[in-house]
Structure 1
Amino acid sequence: MRVGILTGGGDCPGLNAVIRAAAKALFARGVDVLGFRDGYRGII
């Protein structure tokens, strides 16, 4: 399984920590984590 983590909007306090925790939990379960450059534009 592959999961993409995408956030919308600007920066907010703690966002990096949330993304890191989610990615670590997914990696621990053998899930591939994807990142998208340029937000929603990066999906297309």
Structure 2
Amino acid sequence: MKSVAVVTSGGDAPGMNAAINAIFRAGTDSGMTVYGVRRGYQGLIEDDIFPMTMEDVTDILQQGGTILGTA
């Protein structure tokens, strides 16, 4: 099975949650498992990686920042 991980880093910026949402939807539509990495590169170091679900991305477009956090 193919998979992809989403990492956000460098501070918050407009549209980050929209990008996370789009990556999740495109990935799952293509049959991939989409993982989220919390707290940017720190999450990679500390293995804070989780399989994302539709519940994770529901209603995030209206939220500021990034649901994953940044380094």
| Both proteins in one fold, TM over 0.5 | yes
Q: TM-score, normalised by structure 1?
A: 0.84
Which residue of the partner structure matches residue 32 of structure 2? 31
The structure, 1 or 2, with the larger RCO (C-alpha pairs under 8 Å, 6+ apart) is 1
> Runs ≥4 in structure 1, deviation > 2 angstroms?
none
Q: Please, what is the CA RMSD of the aligned residues? A: 0.9
Q: How many residues align?
A: 44
Q: Which blocks of at least 5 consecutive residues in structure 2 are unaligned?
A: 46-71
Deviation per CA, 1:1-44: give whole Å up to 9, x if none: 11101121111111101110111011001100001122111112
Determine the C-alpha separation between the residues in 1 that align with 2:33 and 2:14.
25
